[in-house]
Amino acid sequence: MNPDNQQAVDTLELINKTTSQTRRSVAAKYSSPHIILWGCILIAGYLLSHFYLSWVWAIWITLGLFGGLGMYLIFGYQRRRGFPTRNSQYLQFWWQVFAFWTAFYAFIFISLYLFRPRSGIVLNAYIILMIMLAYIVQGIWNREFFMIGLGVVISAATIIGVKLVPIGFYCFWMALAAGGVMVATGIYLHIKYR
């Protein structure tokens, strides 16, 4: 290969690498407020569930609605500020993400209706594990390794919580191990990709 051809190959490789790194950093930056929001919701949900167990369904449904509203407001704010790429693919991507999560939650609720776990902890662990599976799948699809890591770490923490943490401390464990990890990850991504 002559020097000009090798230079062209090297330049194309550099462009591909830079494009990939830019895409990952943009994804991390725009994901961080969503991850922080849901981390805070998990912390609040677990702590409130521990102290107000008889209100657990109302607590989680209310927090889920606040989370959905928060996501909508964050997305609107990011859209008004301007996305880094202004093309129809970006908006299409977000509609695909919305459709994925809508279908995913529908399947979670259908499976819960059909199989009805007997314990609140098993029910909670099932929901968290399914959500973390979705994080891992989205991380794989979009090559967002922080999402894969987040899904794996919180899944492992959930399994530890179910198997090793005494029942009276489960909600505290999950507030820290799930909600705390999400908040810390979101803050880290926000600072790193400022």
Which residue, among 184, 158, 152, has the nearest Cα to 38 in the 3D structure?
Answer: 184
Q: Using one digit for the tens of pLDDT, what is the confidence trace for 140-164?
A: 988 888 899 999 999 999 999 999 9
Decide: residue 80, CB within 10 A, 0-12 exposed, 13-18 middle, 19+ buried. exposed
How many Cβ atoms from other residues are within 10 Å of residue 129's Cβ?
A: 16
DSSP alpha helix (H) spans, 52-87: 56-81
d(CA 140, CA 149): 11
Over the range 29-56, which residues count as b (16 or more CB within 10 Å of their CB) and which as e? bbbbbbbbbbbbbbbbbbbbbbeeeeeb
pLDDT above 60 for 171 = yes
Higher per-residue confidence, 76 vs 137: 137
pLDDT band per the 50, 70, 90 thresholds, residue 190 = confident
**Residue 92 φ/ψ region, left for φ over 0, alpha for ψ in the -120 to 50 degree band, beta for the rest:** alpha
Question: Mean per-residue pLDDT for 51-75?
Answer: 90
Question: Mean per-residue pLDDT for 100-120?
Answer: 87
Residue that the structure tokens 């909670």 belong to: 124
Q: What are phi and psi of 22, to 5 degrees?
A: -65, -45
3 state DSSP class of 47: helix
How many Cβ atoms from other residues are within 10 Å of residue 61's Cβ?
A: 10
pLDDT above 70 for 22 = no
Higher per-residue confidence, 133 vs 23: 133
d(CA 9, CA 52): 62
3 state DSSP class of 82: coil
d(CA 32, CA 191): 9
